Amino acid sequence: MWHPGIRNEAKHPSRKNMQPLELTLVVAATRSMCIGAGGTMPWKGLRNEMKYFARVTTQLPSHCPPGAVNAVVMGRKTWDSIPPKFRPLKDRLNIVISRSADAPPPSPPSLQEPVRVSSVEGALEYARAHGGGGRVFVIGGGQIYAAVLRRPEARRVLLTSIDAEYDCDTFFPIKLGTDEGTEPGWTRKSDEEWKAWTGEETENGRREEAGIKYEFQMWERE
């Protein structure tokens, strides 16, 4: 089904006409960069943090042309971890990477159903072709983060830094502001830069919710 918020482009756009992508990874992690345990996040009750995630990944920058939409790229396990009543993530182009995706992705896409592709490369090509100039966010899981961080398009990380530790089995691939340091080539941006990029209107700083302290941060690759 055609959606008015998505550009109706050719099924196989040429690479020559594609605009360069800038990828933003969105992640919540502890001080040791723990992001998951047993296929889910080990912390609960951060409702305001989830609202922040929804706002940031949905809101378009002012320079976007009419018809643009943001894309959220994720692995199959991340898709499965989203409660059915909340998926697909509303008002965003949901692109799910799954090795079992064998059918060609739809063209044009619909915001009512996820687009399934078999590789990171396929996901990025699809987002570039059908997002209409919107932002592209990568939201997990660990293997998808790792694959994307190896690509030059990975420009930014929006990190919710959780001031706690848990028993974890999944970690973010790079260290950002940990006790052991920061991955070379990455720099934390100021709160003013964070506000300007995300469009958030409230002041940043350490927050507390459900007994858990956390902070919103923005890191960029230099």
The pLDDT tens digits for 158-210 are 999 999 999 999 999 999 999 999 999 999 999 999 999 999 998 898 999 99
Q: What is the pLDDT of residues 107-134, one digit of tens each?
A: 888 899 999 999 999 999 999 999 899 9
- Report pLDDT for 19: 57
Query: Sorting pLDDT into bands at 50, 70 and 90, what band is 145?
Result: very high
The mean predicted confidence, pLDDT, of the chain is 90
CATH architecture of 15-33+42-221: 3-Layer(aba) Sandwich (3.40)
Q: How far apart are CA 25 and CA 137, in angstroms?
A: 6
Domain boundaries, given as residue ranges, for the chain: 15-33+42-221
Query: Sorting pLDDT into bands at 50, 70 and 90, what band is 54?
Result: very high
Output the pTM of the full model: 0.89
